[in-house]
Amino acid sequence: MPHPLTLGGRPLAGGRLPAICAPLVARTPAALAEEAAAVAALQPDLLEWRVDFFAGIADTAAVLAAARSVQQAARGIPVLFTRRAQREGGQPIALDEAQVLALYEAVAASGTIAALDYEMSHEPAHVAQARELSRRHGLPLVLSFHDFQRTPADAELDARFTQAAQLGADVAKVAVMPQAMGDVHRLLGATLRASERLAIPVIAMSMGALGAVTRLCGGVYGSALTFAVGSNASAPGQIAIADVRAALAVLQRATSA
């Protein structure tokens, strides 16, 4: 049985699969506040603040102030806090992993965010630290895996979802790049298998133009969240919120008939 994301004890989007998440990728505090307000007005179910795009990431006070301004602009829409590591498709930053986790701790303690995303490929001690701090602050932890070059073999896709669950994730996420349509098909198959066998929600997408279909139909295969563009995309293949919403409505009608 696929599981919806649960934030603050409540299923996101009333339990609809997938819920819609829009990324925020501004570099400056002013641009971020503006982006957050503009994107929140489009009413996604969740905002993702990609803090690796934020130029002030090495200044904890600046990040906390920005987190507060995002929370205010979000007008009740929960915020997922993500520093995407460069080797998994994120921006270069001037922090080492211990400093990133100290930032996660400070932001988690600030009461401005609803969930955290951390890559499962980090050293076990770092993943354990992310797990411990998010649990201590009562925040769900997404453990994620990204490959911006290729789609791993089926066994590895299955193993990534399993690994996230074994590491104690509240949500398992896999985003991979297809090189052919068969890769897109395999990613959807792995999504379905993971959503049926794991006790936690799964999020999965195939990136780029070839994979764009997964951002619309992924929920049918058990993906709990799709990333859609509010103002700016954070990964190739993302589709505008209004278009995603329209497609989901069609699928919802067709599949519940």
Ligand X SMILES: O=C1C[C@@](O)(C(=O)O)C[C@@H](O)[C@@H]1O
* Residue-wise DSSP of the chain: -----EETTEEGGGG-SSEEEEEE--SSHHHHHHHHHHHHTT--SEEEEEGGG-TTTT-HHHHHHHHHHHHHHHTT--EEEE---GGGT----S--HHHHHHHHHHHHHTT--SEEEEETTS-HHHHHHHHHHHHHTT--EEEEEEESS----HHHHHHHHHHHHHTT-SEEEEEE--SSHHHHHHHHHHHHHHHHH-SS-EEEEE-HHHHTTHHHHGGGGTB-EEEEESSS-SSTT-EEHHHHHHHHHHHHHHHT-
Residues taking part in catalysis: 146, 173
Shortest Cβ distance from residue 253 to ligand X (Å)? 25
The answer to the question of whether 196 is labelled as a binding residue is no
Among 74, 235, 239, 244, binds ligand X (CB under 6 A): 235
Q: Is 176 in the site for ligand X (CB under 6 A)?
A: no
156 is in an annotated binding site: no
Q: Which of 49, 53, 221, 227 binds ligand X (CB under 6 A)?
A: 227
Task: Using the minimum distance from each CB to ligand X, give the nearer residue, 61 or 212.
Answer: 212
Q: Which stretch binds ligand X (CB under 6 A): 58-66, 151-159, 181-189, 234-242?
A: 234-242
Site map (CB under 6 A) of ligand X, residues 73-112, x = contact: ---------x-x----------------------------
Window 133 to 152, contacts with ligand X (CB under 6 A): 144, 146
Binding site for ligand X (CB under 6 A): 23, 48, 50, 82, 84, 117, 144, 146, 173, 175, 205, 207, 227, 234-235, 238
